[in-house]
Amino acid sequence: MKLLKEKVMNEGIVLGEQVLKVDSFLNHQMDPMLMSEIGSEFVRRFAGEEITKILTIESSGIAPAIMTALELRVPMIFARKNKSLTLREDIFVEKVYSFTKRETNEITVSKKFLGANDRVLIIDDFLANGEAAFGLARIAEQAGASVVGIGIVIEKSFQPGAKLLQEAGYRVDSLVRIASLDNGTVTFVE
């Protein structure tokens, strides 16, 4: 996706060999026109999959996920990272470890909103070790739903997430794939 690649090149800030900061258009400030194009691109890539629900996780997944859901005219669900006071019961729970924050969160989805007839597209902003995507997939599977695929805005292909998800049988489709952040430079997968 050319526009996204340009944004990463022009505005991404490399912080060491593992971390790419894209808080001018994706993780803090958001570019709504780009989010809309990202939604259209996911719809194009997963065409014919008869998706019934978009599933993401708060917070940076919400904007690309709602744009995808809008174009498909299906509901979007965002998993919460902690149990909130008003979501006490009837929830699916999975543990997700965050390497960035060095902590384990419980992610939760209400059982009301996912069922055995659902065909779920998982959307997230970044894919690194795959922890969040695996957690979301396990939640969909707890519900008996089918995971049609995992759509990622930026994949750090030098980390194991994409490979592990594919080995587990999931279709992973990433809009931008980064081969390396070495020497302060973004190198894309050809």
Stretch that binds a copy of itself, among 26-34, 42-50, 145-153, 178-186 (CB under 8 A): 26-34
**Opening angle at CA 99, ends 23 and 53, nearest 5:** 70
Q: For residues 24 and 146, which CB has a smaller minimum distance to a copy of itself in the complex?
A: 24
| 86 near a copy of itself, judged by CB under 8 A | yes
For the chain, how many residues are written? 190
CB of 100 to a copy of itself, least distance (A): 6
| Residue 132 among known ligand-binding residues | yes
| 3-state SS record for 107-176 | EEEEHHHCCCCCEEEEEEEEECCCHHHHHHHHHHHHCCCEEEEEEEEEEECCCCHHHHHHHCCCCEEEEE
| 73 near a copy of itself, judged by CB under 8 A | yes
| 18 near a copy of itself, judged by CB under 8 A | no
Report the C-alpha gap between 61 and 58 in whole angstroms.
6
| 59 near a copy of itself, judged by CB under 8 A | yes
Contact characters 129-168, a copy of itself, x per CB under 8 A: ----------------------------------------
Q: For residues 13 and 168, which CB has a smaller minimum distance to a copy of itself in the complex?
A: 13
Chain-centre distance for alpha carbon 185:
23
Chain-centre distance for alpha carbon 134:
10
| Residue 130 among known ligand-binding residues | yes
Which residues, in sequence order, are CB contacts of 32 under 8 Å at separation 6+? 63
| 30 near a copy of itself, judged by CB under 8 A | yes
* Token pair listed for 148: 């049609």
| 80 near a copy of itself, judged by CB under 8 A | yes
Q: For residues 101 and 190, which CB has a smaller minimum distance to a copy of itself in the complex?
A: 101
CA dihedral sign, ordered 56, 57, 63, 66? positive
| Residue 128 among known ligand-binding residues | yes
Are 121 and 61 in contact by the 8 Å Cβ rule? The answer is no
Residues that bind a copy of itself (CB under 8 A): 15, 19, 21, 23-24, 27-33, 35-36, 58-59, 62-63, 66-67, 69-70, 73-78, 80, 84-87, 100-101, 109-110, 112-113
